[in-house]
Amino acid sequence: MKKVGLIMGSDSDLPVVQKAVDKLKALEVPYEAHIYSAHRTPVEAKAFAETAEENGFGAIIAFAGKAAHLAGAIAANTCLPVIGVPVKSSTLDGLDALLSTVQMPSGIPVATVAIDGAANAAILAAQIIALGDPDLSQRLKDDRAKAARAVLEKNAALDI
């Protein structure tokens, strides 16, 4: 199975990244995580993106806060699908990171999820990998059915 790359701009992003790790583990999707910054380590971030396809990755999730250029910088250097997670790590509550991540120029897409939306990023990455993996596709369907059951149980227990 293809791996998911998890690239974060700083170790201060780890609590958000962990939510994606938890979801990928639950779905049994292999992943590899690195700290590469678009600004502090641009050479390493570029090298990762340029070699990601030959290194067995099928999708990349990039996590960054503040002036969040990481997802765009990764996307600029690979044709693999890139998912951006804007991280709430500043006095602007993550809106800065959201706009920096989502407002990509035409031709270089970044599939941007919600601020701190790490679980959805992991699910989306798994859905991409599942296009070539029927077993993973079934696990995603089971996971969604489980989530629906949880809501319906809460509905049945609602007493206000």
Nearest to 117 by CA among 9, 23, 12, 38: 23
Using CB under 6 A as the binding criterion, the count of chain residues that bind ligand RP5 stands at 10
Nearest to 127 by CA among 19, 23, 18, 15: 23
Q: Does 84 bind ligand RP5 (CB under 6 A)?
A: no
Q: Does 96 bind ligand RP5 (CB under 6 A)?
A: no
If the CB atoms of residues 39 and 139 are measured against ligand RP5, the closer one turns out to be 39
Name the one range near ligand RP5 by CB under 6 A: 18-26, 50-58, 62-70, 150-158.
Answer: 62-70
Q: Does 2 bind ligand RP5 (CB under 6 A)?
A: no
Q: Does 45 bind ligand RP5 (CB under 6 A)?
A: no
Q: Does 12 bind ligand RP5 (CB under 6 A)?
A: yes
Among 19, 21, 33, 37, binds ligand RP5 (CB under 6 A): 37
Among 64, 98, 113, 122, binds ligand RP5 (CB under 6 A): 64
SS (H, E, C) the chain: CCEEEEEECCHHHHHHHHHHHHHHHHCCCCEEEEECCCCCCHHHHHHHHHHCCCCCEEEEEEEEECCCCHHHHHHCCCCCCEEEEEECCCCCCCHHHHHHHHCCCCCCCCEECCCCCHHHHHHHHHHHHHCCCHHHHHHHHHHHHHHHHHHHHHHHHCCC
Name the one range near ligand RP5 by CB under 6 A: 17-25, 26-34, 59-67, 122-130.
Answer: 59-67
Among 60, 87, 118, 124, binds ligand RP5 (CB under 6 A): 87
| Chain contacts with ligand RP5 (rule: CB under 6 A) | 9-10, 12-13, 37, 64-66, 87, 89
